[in-house]
Amino acid sequence: MSSRSLLANAIRALSMDAVQQANSGHPGAPMGMADIAEVLYNDFMQHNPQNPSWPDRDRFVMSNGHASMLPYSVLHLSGYDLPIEEIRNFRQLHSKTPGHPEYGYAPGVETTTGPLGQGIGNAAGMALSEKIMAAQFNREGHEIVNHYTYSFLGDGCLMEGISHEVCSLAGTLELGKLICFYDDNGISIDGDVIGWFADDTTKRFEAYGWQVLSVDGHNAEEIKAATEKARAEIVKPTLIRCKTLIGKGAPNKEGGHDVHGAPLGADEIAATRKAMGWDYEPFEIPDEVYAGWDAKEKGAELEATWNEKFAGYKAQYPTEAAEFARRMAGDLPDNWEEVATQAVKDIADQALTQATRSSSQGALNAFGPHLPEFLGGSADLTPSNNTFFKGSKYINSAHGTDKDFTGNYISYGVREFGMSAIMNGVTLHGGLMPYGATFLMFSEYARNALRMAALMKIRSIFVFTHDSIGLGEDGPTHQAVEQIPTLRMIPNMNVWRACDAVESVVSWKSAIEKKEQPSCLIFSRQALPHMERDEATLANVSKGGYILKDTDGTPDVIVIATGSEVQLAMNAAEQSDKKVRVVSMPSTTEFDAQDAAYKESVLPSAVTARVAVEAAIMDGWYKYVGLNGEVIGMSTFGESAPAPQLFEYFGITTEAVVEAINKVTA
């Protein structure tokens, strides 16, 4: 047995043993890709197990995340803080080795890839970040950003539509340091994929502008040569098609779908050990294998070399070095609080009446000059989303800059899901703060990437405009009615729906400051009036829900509203003969996070007469108004007509709010 085979077989042994002990998991892909992983990690990967967050490390993404025992095995073997006990606890409660790789659990896991296809999207985002950060910070003779992004993926990733979105864009943007290894084993859960996946993958990726190479996925020399060729191609991303046997080494099951997602079984594991010449007990790894995999010394040397390089850079470019360190740490500028406070005050003083999508652009104009880490973009709706601010600069050659990656704005094309997964990869890479926009209705296409951002606790900012039936004539296919409440249901998602320019800038401030939380910022197409606030009221906007208009003494009724419907609540309060408190609640998620005393001060439990109004599905508002309260909103899809007619038709009017006030106070 060659030393390479011995090292690769350690992955196979750990993978089959862990899956067997858990009685759950996917041994086939880790066993099939073990030879590829051995070459990649031992011959090419720049990483330091003792410092998994070293800025210039290579990034590795396991897009076919069900094969999680492959990265877990590699991380354990190469010296990361992932002891053998964690391998034994594969898929067990609170282990560092859950069923799919989860960001923040095992050191060295760069992302939660989740459902198939998103990993390659994340990887594209990381490669994009490397290219942008290199353009922004590298100087002649001082290349402090110079690393690769590697991704493993399988047939399932390529069948998912998101792979088309992100791989097409990666080719267009010439992300030459993105190298993907395709586990071309021809097998998925249902069996031989030829019956449902007969694409010419080579021609497909060549059409995207990729370099495509083909190798025997069990021949180390072929894998090494192809990887060297991929690294030498600085313009085109590379797909290396690795012809493999799923479950390689299992004599009675390799090459078939039975080994894809189930334990091998005791008999087959014994036969596999014999076939591989692996004469060790379960979870036993000989010292010579550990020695062959150990990357701690090499990794420390690589990082030390980079540290020397960075020290030289810092000596010559101290301002840029400090900025690089700040941005890679994800910290905001030292003067951020001063800048943000002044921006909120300035916009409040302007008393603007305009669509909140325009107010959002105003917030970007205020914050953008102070946040060089901003990386904006839109899914082909920039003029409608208003996400291009005064300091924006396209990187795409289509806009006349010949792929100048010193820019800060991406035209993502009509790729909502791909955009969002790429944004998550950008955030995870570090150094950039991405925001990307589309119509609120199309958040449905992006939804799973939003969920992954919330699950990973990362600061990706999703901008959604055209927020309700206020969209008007485009009709029910484009009018969001259920999207706002369902976005609020995503755990750890910061959701804001602004009623005017002031709430718009505060929502941006909140999103920027949420280091461990993604945000959905929701804005209107139609113009909305400015709401007057005193200094104390202005300070409470950031709490997500606050008293916008009050009455003397205890109110008879509380009316809660968001977005474009706040003006209806304010008008109704003026017309009603009751003592009405109006609560604007741009962010239920932020309001819910406040302490009990503050929430009681805004929504006193003694006042049970309550009305909520929002041009969206109504169910979520009953937790604020109670079962005896009234909610004015949508219970159906919209219609195609001018917005004013639609609000009248669906009964979302000042008159309806007044009627509801009278009903709950009767």
> Is 474 within a domain?
yes
Mean pLDDT of the 356-376 span: 98
187 a known binding residue? yes
> Is 324 within a domain?
no
> Is 536 within a domain?
no
605 a known binding residue? no
Nearest alpha carbon to residue 151 among 163, 159, 161: 163
Domain boundary (300, 319, 352) is at: 300
Mean pLDDT of the 389-413 span: 84
Q: Which residue has the tokens 């709490």?
A: 543
- Give the pLDDT confidence score for residue 399 in this predicted structure: 64
> Is 107 within a domain?
yes
Are 516 and 554 within one domain? Answer: no
Report the CATH number that the domain containing residue 621 is assigned in CATH.
3.40.50.920
Are 287 and 364 within one domain? Answer: no
- Give the pLDDT confidence score for residue 426 in this predicted structure: 98
- List pLDDT tens digits, range 265-323: 999 999 999 999 999 999 999 999 999 999 999 999 999 999 999 999 999 999 999 99
Mean pLDDT of the 144-172 span: 98
Are 482 and 578 within one domain? Answer: no
- List pLDDT tens digits, range 573-613: 999 999 999 999 999 999 999 999 999 999 999 999 999 99
Q: At what angle do helices 118-137 and 443-456 cross, to 10 degrees?
A: 70
**Residue 215 above 80 pLDDT?**
yes
- List pLDDT tens digits, range 613-628: 999 999 999 999 998 8
**pTM, 2 dp:** 0.97
115 a known binding residue? yes
> Is 58 within a domain?
yes
169 a known binding residue? no
Are 282 and 381 within one domain? Answer: no
442 a known binding residue? yes
Residue 472 structural domain: 335-528
374 a known binding residue? no
For 325, residues 6+ apart whose C-beta sits below 8 A from its C-beta are none
Q: What is the rounded distance in angstroms from the CA atom of residue 29 to the CA atom of residue 153?
A: 10
Are 604 and 517 within one domain? Answer: no
- List pLDDT tens digits, range 447-488: 999 999 999 999 999 999 999 999 999 999 999 999 999 999
Are 13 and 157 within one domain? Answer: yes
> Is 376 within a domain?
yes
- Mapped to the 3 state alphabet, what secondary structure does 457-504 carry? CCCCEEEEECCCHHHCCCCCCCCCCCHHHHHHCCCCCEEEECCCHHHH
Are 106 and 253 within one domain? Answer: yes
Report the CATH number that the domain containing residue 142 is assigned in CATH.
3.40.50.970
Are 175 and 141 within one domain? Answer: yes
pLDDT band at 400 (very low <50, low <70, confident <90, very high): low
User: What are φ and ψ of residue 474, in 5° steps?
Assistant: -65, -20
Number of helical H runs and strand E runs in the chain: 27, 20
The C-alpha angle with vertex 447 and arms to 477 and 474, in degrees rounded to 5, equals 15
Neighbour tally for 133: CB within 10 Å: 26
59 a known binding residue? no
> Is 533 within a domain?
no
Domain boundary (250, 280, 300) is at: 300
H helix runs in 84-242, sequence order: 84-88, 118-137, 155-159, 161-172, 201-208, 220-232
**Residue 138 above 80 pLDDT?**
yes
H helix runs in 489-636, sequence order: 501-513, 535-540, 566-575, 588-592, 596-602, 622-625
Q: What is the rounded distance in angstroms from the CA atom of residue 133 to the CA atom of residue 48?
A: 21
Sheet with 461-465: list strands edge to edge.
409-411, 374-378, 433-439, 461-465, 519-522, 494-497
Structural domains in the chain (count): 3
Are 19 and 125 within one domain? Answer: yes
Q: Which residue has the tokens 């790429």?
A: 422
Measured distance between the N- and C-terminal CA atoms of the chain, rounded to whole angstroms: 87
Percent of the chain at pLDDT exceeding 70: 99
Residues forming beta bridges with residue 150, ordered by sequence position: 60, 179
pLDDT band at 529 (very low <50, low <70, confident <90, very high): very high
**Residue 114 above 90 pLDDT?**
no
User: For residue 300, what are its two tokens?
Assistant: 């420390």
Q: Which residue in the list 268, 416, 614, 630 is annotated as catalytic?
A: 416
**Residue 264 above 90 pLDDT?**
yes
Neighbour tally for 277: CB within 10 Å: 10
Instruction: Label residue 233 exposed, middle or buried (CB < 10 Å: 0-12, 13-18, 19+).
Output: middle
Greatest CA separation for the chain: 90
- List pLDDT tens digits, range 58-82: 999 999 999 999 999 999 999 999 9
Query: Is the CB of residue 583 less than 8 Å from the CB of residue 613?
Result: no
**Residue 401 above 60 pLDDT?**
no
**Residue 2 above 80 pLDDT?**
no
- Give the pLDDT confidence score for residue 396 in this predicted structure: 73
Q: Which residue has the tokens 């195609």?
A: 640
- Give the pLDDT confidence score for residue 643 in this predicted structure: 94
**How, if at all, do strands 580-584 and 610-617 pair?**
unpaired
116 a known binding residue? yes
Nearest alpha carbon to residue 612 among 663, 561, 550: 561
> Is 630 within a domain?
yes
Are 642 and 608 within one domain? Answer: yes
Mean pLDDT of the 43-59 span: 98
Are 201 and 268 within one domain? Answer: yes
Residues forming beta bridges with residue 527, ordered by sequence position: 355
Are 515 and 561 within one domain? Answer: no
Q: What is the rounded distance in angstroms from the CA atom of residue 247 to the CA atom of residue 253?
A: 7
Does the active-site annotation cover 648?
A: no
